[in-house]
Structure 1
Amino acid sequence: MAGEQLKSVAGLLLVLNFCMYTIVLGIGGWAINKAIDHGFIIGAGFDLPPHFSPIYFPMGNAATGFFVVYALIAGVVGIASAISGLNHFRYWDVDSLPAAASVATIAWTLTLLAMGFAWKEIDLHIRNARLRTMEAFIIILSVTQLVYIAAIHGAASRRRA
């Protein structure tokens, strides 16, 4: 009985995390596109400006580049986690758990890394609404991904007993 309740919780979190990681990828893609379109042009006769950063973003602050890059990496691994989790959800046995749990744990740790840069970006204050949305999603995902990992492990331990 408890295993079925944890399975429904894991399924709900799986769908929620997939949607949120997709939105993070969309906003991160927009930020990368804007940075490429409005970045510094390097060519013949151009000198690099002082304090030039290769991950310069015209919106946001000094932490924006790091935050966007790590959020994109966390988003891609999070989507992979959702795909692996869907396979585990379909079979829901001990044999499919290690793959789902390991990818989910990697996605969670990368999300925590991106969350650290999100906190730094919040601390530096200058950012737009899309970046604030991405920060909020990353912070929420750091919690929901952890609860998802706990749900799939809890259901597996109950099934063995």
Structure 2
Amino acid sequence: MASAAHRSMGSALLSLNLIMYVVVAVIAGWAINYSIDESRNSLKGATPPVRLFPIYFPIGNLATGFFVIFALVTGVVGISTSLAGLHEVSQGYPASMMSAAASALVTWTLTVLAMGLACKEISLSVRPGSLRTLEAFTIILTATQLLCAVSLHAGAHAVILETPIGGRV
């Protein structure tokens, strides 16, 4: 009985995170595409050390490049974790629930890393609206992904407690 509540909460959080990770991946992908397109025009007379990094970010500040790349990686990993987690939660087996919880925890650590870079970018200077949106989604996702991992872990333990010895749910 308790596992159904944890499973429904975990499914709801996984669905919410899936939508938010898609938004993060789209905005980060747009920022990288914009930077690649603008690098050609912005670096025509630049000295060689500036051209060592293949992408020059004309928007934001010095932390923007690292933040956008880590946000894109976090978004892609979050999308795959959410999709796999939704599938594993629908099965309802203890092993699949624990697998979803472990994947959610790994995604949360990547999200915390991206959030740290977002906080660094916020502290440096003023940014355009698209980057502020990406930062806000990353910071919100840090909290919701942690709630999702905790919910999946609690749901897995509830399923384990309800499973008879040697039986299946």
Q: What TM-score, normalized by structure 2, do the two folds share?
A: 0.86
Tell me how far apart the structure 1 counterparts of residues 6 and 101 of structure 2 sit (CA, whole Å): 15
Shift, 1:88, TM fit: 1.2
Shift, 1:5, TM fit: 1.5
Tell me how far apart the structure 1 counterparts of residues 109 and 16 of structure 2 sit (CA, whole Å): 18
Which residue does the alignment assign to 1:151? Answer: 151
Tell me how far apart the structure 2 counterparts of residues 13 and 22 of structure 1 sit (CA, whole Å): 14
Greater Cα offset, 91-100 or 105-114: 91-100
Which residue does the alignment assign to 2:78? Answer: 78
Tell me how far apart the structure 1 counterparts of residues 105 and 32 of structure 2 sit (CA, whole Å): 26
**Structure 1: which 4+ aligned runs deviate by more than 2 Å?**
46-51
How well do the aligned residues superpose, as a CA RMSD in angstroms?
2.0
Give yes or no for contact 2:10–2:148 (8 Å, CA) kept in 1.
Answer: yes
Q: What SS is found at the alignment partner of 1:62?
A: coil
Which residue does the alignment assign to 1:140? Answer: 140
Change over 3 Å in CA distance of 1:50–1:120 after alignment to 2? farther
Q: What TM-score, normalized by structure 1, do the two folds share?
A: 0.90
The question of 1:20 aligning with 2:50 is answered no
Give yes or no for contact 1:84–1:99 (8 Å, CA) kept in 2.
Answer: no
Which residue does the alignment assign to 1:112? Answer: 112
AA aligned to 2:9 is V
Shift, 1:98, TM fit: 3.5
State how many pairs are aligned.
159
Greater helix fraction, Structure 1 or Structure 2 = 2
Give yes or no for contact 2:15–2:86 (8 Å, CA) kept in 1.
Answer: no
Gaps of 5+ in 1: none
Percent of aligned pairs with the same residue? 46
- Deviation per residue, 1:1-60 (Å, 9 max, x gap): 32222111111111110000000011011101110000047xxxx774275161421110
The aligned runs of 1:1-161 (5 Å cut-off) are: 1-40=1-40, 48-49=46-47, 52=50, 54=53, 55-161=55-161
Give yes or no for contact 1:25–1:72 (8 Å, CA) kept in 2.
Answer: yes
Give yes or no for contact 1:77–1:106 (8 Å, CA) kept in 2.
Answer: no
AA aligned to 2:140 is I
Give yes or no for contact 2:81–2:100 (8 Å, CA) kept in 1.
Answer: yes
Shift, 1:107, TM fit: 1.1
Shift, 1:127, TM fit: 0.9
Tell me how far apart the structure 2 counterparts of residues 27 and 142 of structure 1 sit (CA, whole Å): 17
